[in-house]
A = this chain, B = another copy of it.
């Protein structure tokens, strides 16, 4: 299955990314020419979504290798890209793969090939997650997701949304929580689902409990930024609340993610570093002030859902339960 947009591509020495900060109003592709431009694009969420960040970072290193064959300089680019988002494990997974390339060569072609490989692997991973996930979706399914773990978060058909795309004829509705502060639900998930004719309904994050308590949802599927050995899962802020509310209302709660999202070096969620982002993301919405200047704001970008709230994990290796080895 192919969708009608492309999140990232390498074209003759430049990287073209769909600038996700401009969605849903504009579908604009931005040209990235240097590792620092790529780092900016990742930090400012022009490219976002755990799997896509990993691929973008790998292409960012290729951009470095294009301008230098000094190992040290390529390594600085890797370090710069590593520093962009602390919570997404795919970023470190991808850059570790790139580091192995750098151990053997500084040849540009090798870096492009590794990034292309990561991209192709991601496309295939998404398809497999979708195929396994389809089995969990009943007829006339009413789903709920959170944030955007769709095609826009990957190079393929998404992670959480992959089963929904492949089971399209079985879907009667997808509840899309808007996902404050950055509104990935309202801007991105709403955009890609409506664009691909999947029935969807936007709600405020705080209406998720009401909708679940009224029996309007058969299953929840979300993505993940990092999964620990015991199954604790870091994902977009608000995921933990959704998981608790799903359990309270006996609605199954699935996490769909590439197996590479699992960080087996970490035993449990307490050890995950949670990215704190700026106050302005909360105090302004799309540039408009919504709060008094005097008030402080606290903006954790992720939270950790304990494994006990997760019915099962959907990876390219099948439907799985922790612990992971």
- Using a CB–CB cutoff of 8 Å, the interface residues on chain A facing chain B are 24-25, 175-181, 183, 186-187, 190-191, 193-195, 200-211, 213, 237-238, 240-241, 244-245, 248, 274, 282-283, 285-292, 294-300, 303-304
Contact = CB atoms under 8 A, between A and B. Distances in A.
A203 B195 CA distance: 31
A207 B298 contact: yes
A273 to B, nearest CB: 14
Contacts of A204: 180-181, 205, 237-238, 282, 299
Given A180-B204, A204-B205, A210 B291 contact: no
Contacts of A290: 178, 183, 186-187, 285-286
Nearest to A241: B209
A294 B178 CA distance: 15
Which of A24, A194, A205, A241 has the most chain B CB within a 10 Å cutoff? A241
Question: Copies per complex?
Answer: 2
Contacts of A297: 201-203
30 contacts: A24-B291, A24-B292, A25-B289, A178-B290, A178-B291, A180-B205, A187-B291, A200-B295, A201-B295, A202-B291, A202-B296, A204-B237, A204-B282, A204-B299, A206-B206, A207-B298, A207-B299, A207-B303, A208-B241, A209-B303, A210-B300, A211-B298, A213-B240, A213-B304, A241-B241, A244-B244, A244-B248, A285-B290, A286-B288, A287-B288
